[in-house]
């Protein structure tokens, strides 16, 4: 009997590996066509950006090029994952540059290829952002995972941002985004499907052995 059970578990495990979606590729600051920003983000949140603070630069060689900033968001909606507070801190290492050429003004350089999220002071803006968790409890920003940055949800780009998010494979099953274009959002997780298959096969094998009067092996 146990030989049959072990064989069935191995078969089901093979099915799990074969049916699992391919792992996502992490790219540099290039918007690859198959990049799934929802799947790559630990959390996806929407809210109002409250302001920014310049942080110390930990890497000496970068001090002449980039100034890391902390941006606080008052979260109004959590689209993916969970956050423990209604105000979260996000760190952006590539949006702000130090003063140069005798000027005393910092420069916003988010679009310069560093994947910084901001080309301007984000204070007061409304945003939808995919974030990665840092070990210290803050979150890390990435320009490629910024779905919307505007004045309010009334901006024309807001609805387009939601539609883009809903079209990504990683959004399937997120209730706040609906089921997505192929209607697969309400499907149970793959692990539950395969787990049920394992139990069904084991029960069938036990029933077959009992029906034929052979008892346990």
SS3 174: coil
| Residue 128 and residue 70 share a domain | yes
Q: What is the pLDDT of residue 212?
A: 59
| pTM strictly above 0.85 | no
Give the pLDDT mean for 2-7: 48
Task: Supply the DSSP symbol for 74.
Answer: E
Q: Which residues fall within 8 angstroms of residue 125, CB to CB, at 6 or more apart? A: 48, 49, 149, 150, 151
| Residue 119 and residue 77 share a domain | yes
In a domain, 181, yes or no: no
Q: Which helix (H) or strand (E) holds 161?
A: helix 156-167
Q: Helix and strand tally (H, E) in the chain?
A: 4, 7
Q: What is the mean pLDDT of the chain?
A: 76
What are the tens digits of pLDDT across the range 142-160? 999 999 999 999 999 999 9
The rounded distance, in Å, linking the Cα atoms of 217 and 215 is 7
What are the tens digits of pLDDT across the range 181-195? 443 433 444 444 445
Q: Which residues fall within 8 angstroms of residue 170, CB to CB, at 6 or more apart? A: 24, 36, 37, 38, 39, 40, 41, 80
How many domains in the chain? 2
In a domain, 176, yes or no: no
Could you tell me where the beta strands, DSSP code E, fall in the chain? 43-54, 67-80, 87-97, 107-108, 126-133, 139-140, 146-150
Domain of 43, CATH number, reads 2.40.50.120
| Residue 192 and residue 147 share a domain | no
In a domain, 45, yes or no: yes
Tokens of 20: 């699992």
Q: What is the span of the domain harbouring residue 96?
A: 37-170
């Amino acid at each position: 009997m146990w030989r049959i059970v072990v064989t069935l578990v191995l078969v089901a495990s093979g099915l799990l590996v074969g049916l699992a979606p391919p792992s996502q590729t992490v790219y540099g600051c290039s918007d690859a066509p198959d990049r799934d920003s929802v799947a790559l983000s630990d959390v996806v949140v929407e809210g109002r950006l409250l302001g920014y603070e310049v942080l110390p630069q930990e890497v000496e060689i970068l001090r002449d090029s980039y100034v890391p900033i902390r941006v606080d968001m008052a979260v109004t909606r959590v689209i993916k994952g969970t956050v423990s507070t209604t105000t979260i801190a996000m760190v952006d290492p590539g949006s702000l540059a130090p003063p140069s050429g005798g000027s005393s003004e910092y420069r916003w350089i988010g679009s310069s290829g560093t994947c910084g999220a901001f080309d301007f002071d984000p204070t007061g803006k409304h945003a939808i952002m995919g974030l990665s968790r840092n070990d210290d409890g803050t979150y890390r920003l990435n320009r490629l995972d910024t779905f919307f940055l505007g004045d309010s949800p009334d901006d024309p780009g807001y609805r387009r941002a939601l539609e883009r998010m809903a079209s990504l494979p990683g959004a399937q099953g997120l209730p706040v985004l609906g089921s997505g274009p192929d209607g697969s959002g309400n499907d149970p997780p793959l692990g539950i499907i395969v787990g049920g298959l394992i139990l069904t096969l084991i029960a069938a094998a036990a029933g077959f052995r009992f029906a034929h009067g052979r008892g346990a092996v």
